[in-house]
Structure formats: structure tokens, C-alpha cells
Structure 1
């Protein structure tokens, strides 16, 4: 893939916390550009809504599947790597207070040497809002305001006075320190109409769910139209995809031509690796040799 090649991201989803440091080191050595970490605050035993990304609406994991806190996991992995970038993929922003989140993001960006991007989403689980005492009905508008707050705190000018007066969040001048000397990019996840509009309007990029090439190509084209509509086409914009039906260079090149800038992969599933830490490490190295090394 000549020129400004598509970047490679390793998915850190559903991996035991004890494996992540070795996995990050291996990913860096194999040529990966970044690691993406998902967010799951807890696993409600009973959920009153269907999971939106499976045909039968069932969750594809159980309560004991490891879901380390992404901010803590990324901080640890950043400490044992030098080049690798990290993203939340995606953090459920409306479950959290935006100022407390901004504090975490700012500190993490500084301590990771600006190797961090914040991927955000809304959450589909009603019980997550009920149990965290947040409101599901206003999650979209609150997410918009939270993004504005985090971008103000992490604007890339170091610590400075900020204030915010919105519908849901309101505070007078305050300063959060440390704060990064480069802006922290905010990537918006999801395939809903509202999510795509949010990404095109205020995001520095978009993050897909696990889906097919056909769906990804159509969504990337839709994002292009929305960015033109909002007048944001001239702004740098990352498109982080996770294709479920591509396992060779030709397929990846097709997505790159469609506009993808980062491809997120799970090598141990692609190669049917042994479900062990060593099996996962071997698959990361294999992907580095067979795919990344040939780009």
C-alpha cells in the first residue's frame, strides 16, 4: 500500500488484563500503529433491550469475559511502548461526568506523550444508565456537550482557563492540569444516523463496529456526503474500520481505496489461533509478517 498507507490497529477487546502488556509490546514490534480498547463498565444480568449488532439480539459475551477499564489499561500499555498509539474504541461517554473524563483524558494524553485518541459512543443498554444514575433519553445531547468540554480542556495549548454553559452541563472558569500540548482527537463510533452526523459534524474521525465490507463502503460514502453537508471535508478525518469478511491484502486495499485510514483486526480469530496468551502473541507476529510487512 504505497504512499500514506492505511494504518493497522490491534483490537484489545475481551483480553485478560494480565496479557495486555505483552500484547502491546508484540504489536509494536510487529508494526501495528495502534491498539484499540473497548469499554464495558459492567455486565447487567438482565437487559431490557436487544444487542443491536447480532441477528438475534443476544450479547456475544458473558459476564466473566474480561473488560479492563480502557483508561487504566491504555496507561499501562503506553508505559511499556514507545511508538504505539492507543484509542478507546469506544468509551461510553454519557455514562460519565465530562469534567472527570476530561481530567483522565488530559492526564493520559500527557503521560502517553500524545499517543492517545478518545473514541466515544453512547451505549445501548438501559440498565447502564439506570445503575449509573444517568439519563438515557438525553444521552445524545449530553454526549455532544461532553465532547465540547473535553475538546476545550484538551485543545493542545496546555493548561488554560475554560468555562462551559450548556443545557446539561454548566460551570464557570476552571483549569485542569496537566493538559496536553497537542489536541486530543475525538473519534465518534456507531452506525446510527445520529452517530454518523455527530462524527461528520464535530468528530476528528469515525470508528466502525464489526461489519462487512459492503456496509463499510456504503457508510464511508455516507460520511463523505455528511462532511460535505457540514462543511468539514477539509478537516483531517480518520476512518477506523473493523471488517469481518476480509483476510487478505486485496480486501484491505479495496477498503483503503474506499477511504479507510485505519483497519482494526483480531489476528487470533483470523488464524484460528490457540485460545491462549502464546497463541494470541504468535498470531500478532504472523499478521505483522504476512500483512503489515508486505504493505
Structure 2
């Protein structure tokens, strides 16, 4: 089992220390969310709450994930970093690939990217991007990022799609190892995108039963696309799981990395720097220290 620390809604000034402590106590990675801005008025419901309301205040800190990951990578040696998830269709894929490639090289291949679509119409309108084509553009963007960050250093690449089109070019630096690309989301379209194009899948906060059903569906889809024998990561954030044996059951059905926020598990005030670090250390003692060696 691998363990990932979800570092959402944390003061940017506390992230480097948090990363150092996470590495010290045995976490494998840190996940950084993506929220470009907080629209005062949103014309769509939040899909992950019962009443459709957002669960955070407008001033809640949401540091840029790439800037935060680069800063944390600079003060750690082993810890990996990934986005959970990057709202890819809001961004130009070549500029995004340039950023990812540079981070991967400078961190020593400790960067991965999780991608999603975004549910907020205002994010598309205010950034001058199309919501209607977000799925198709994300598919193309994944291919572009993979062509630039697929390992082997700088390569000549070109792409000719419906939404993105460019002739041969080279981006340097570029990583010597492939940057893993994971897809988030529980919709059928999202699961198909993960099964068809990605190196893994990232769940939202979800119960163990729904998680097991989704993993089963991913297996069916990967078989359909002829990818059943390829390595595939399952990064999950199971709700209601509070015992190591329960985590082990989920690992047995396919979860490869668990994403946790220890301060919520222990009822800690996550806005308190000291309490947050204490929760990270306590979780490591109770869960990470108990995993089998190797």
C-alpha cells in the first residue's frame, strides 16, 4: 500500500514544512487540488455535496498546484507530487506540458499529473475557453502532454487534432522517464477516458462499496480497450474507513494508493499548523508504520 497526503485548502506558507514532515514519517506522495478562482455566483450545482453548495469559503487558500508542487519538491528528496485534479481544459496543453516537463526534470522524476474537466461554467467563461468541448479537448491535451513528457528526454513532436494543431516542435527540458497521467471522475465518460488514455484513475471521496463497483467497471473498460495487462494505478480516498484492515481489504480489490487527510480522521482543526502536523505524525504511527516492508 502507498499513502498520499491530500493537501487541500492549506495556507501556502505551510506547505513546504508539511511536505518535509510527510516525507519524514513515510508518506509516499502529496496531492494538490486545482481551483483557479472562486466565482461569487455559480450557475451550476457542486456535484459532490447533497445540496449542491460548495463546502468552502471564498477566501479558502487554493495555491496554484504547479507552483506549490515545485516549491515542495525543492525541499524534499523522495516524496512524489501530483495534481488532484488539474482542470486541464482551462489551460493551453503545450504551455501545460512545458510546466510539467520542467517540474519533472528539476524534481528528479517525482511529478505526476491527475486531470479532470471542471464543473463550473464560469471558469470556462472567465478564462475564454469552451465548456461544451471540454471532454474532447481534454482527450487531445492528454495526448499532447504524453508526447512531450513520455520519457527519453526532448523529442520532436507534432499534433493534428480537431481542437489543437501544431507542426513539429521540441520542448526542452523534458524528462527521461514518462510522467504518469491519471484521470479523475466517476462518470462513465471519465472512466472510459481513464481506461483508454491514462496510467491510472483518481477517485473522489467515496464509500468503499461504490469504490469497489467503480474499480470493477474500470477493469471491464480496460479489457474492452485491450489494456487489461498494462500497469494501472488506483488512487482512492475512501470515506468511513478508519481501520488498517479496512484499507487492506480495499488494497486487495485493486487500490494502489490511499489519499488521506489525517486531520479530518482525528477531528483536528486543520487550520492549525501544529495540530495538522501532529495529525500527520499520528496517522503515520498508526497506519504507515504497520505496512509490510517493501
Residue 152 (str. 1) matches residue 147 (str. 2): yes
Residue 36 (str. 1) matches residue 31 (str. 2): yes
CA shift, 1:162, in A, is 0.6
CA shift, 1:160, in A, is 1.2
Instruction: Report what 2:183 is aligned to.
Output: 188
Aligned 1:204-219 pairs, distance under 5 A: 204-219=199-214
Tell me how far apart the structure 1 counterparts of residues 111 and 166 of structure 2 sit (CA, whole Å).
26
Task: Point out where structure 2 has 5 or more consecutive residues left out of the alignment.
Answer: none
Of residues 95, 98, 103, the one that matches 2:90 is 95
CA shift, 1:274, in A, is 3.4
Instruction: Report what 1:283 is aligned to.
Output: 279
Aligned 1:169-184 pairs, distance under 5 A: 169-184=164-179
Instruction: Report what 1:3 is aligned to.
Output: none
Tell me how far apart the structure 1 counterparts of residues 53 and 230 of structure 2 sit (CA, whole Å).
38
Instruction: Report what 2:256 is aligned to.
Output: 261
Match of 1:148, SS?
Answer: helix
Deviations 1:111-144 (A, max 9, x none): 1100011100000000000000000000000000
Of residues 95, 100, 104, the one that matches 1:105 is 100
Deviations 1:23-50 (A, max 9, x none): 1011111110000000000000000000
Aligned 1:237-252 pairs, distance under 5 A: 237-252=232-247
Instruction: Report what 2:115 is aligned to.
Output: 120
Tell me how far apart the structure 1 counterparts of residues 71 and 146 of structure 2 sit (CA, whole Å).
23
Match of 1:35, SS?
Answer: strand
CA-based RMSD: 0.6
Of residues 29, 45, 50, the one that matches 2:45 is 50
Deviations 1:207-233 (A, max 9, x none): 000111111111011101110111111
Q: Which stretches of structure 1, 4 residues or more, deviate above 3 A after TM superposition?
A: none
Tell me how far apart the structure 1 counterparts of residues 40 and 25 of structure 2 sit (CA, whole Å).
38
Q: TM-score, normalising length from structure 2?
A: 0.98
Instruction: Report what 2:290 is aligned to.
Output: 294
Task: Point out where structure 1 has 5 or more consecutive residues left out of the alignment.
Answer: 1-5
Tell me how far apart the structure 1 counterparts of residues 77 and 44 of structure 2 sit (CA, whole Å).
41
Q: TM-score, normalising length from structure 1?
A: 0.97
Instruction: Report what 1:140 is aligned to.
Output: 135
Instruction: Report what 1:197 is aligned to.
Output: 192
Would you say how many aligned residue pairs link Structure 1 and Structure 2?
A: 290
Deviations 1:125-180 (A, max 9, x none): 00000000000000000000000000000110111111100000000111100000
Tell me how far apart the structure 1 counterparts of residues 104 and 279 of structure 2 sit (CA, whole Å).
29
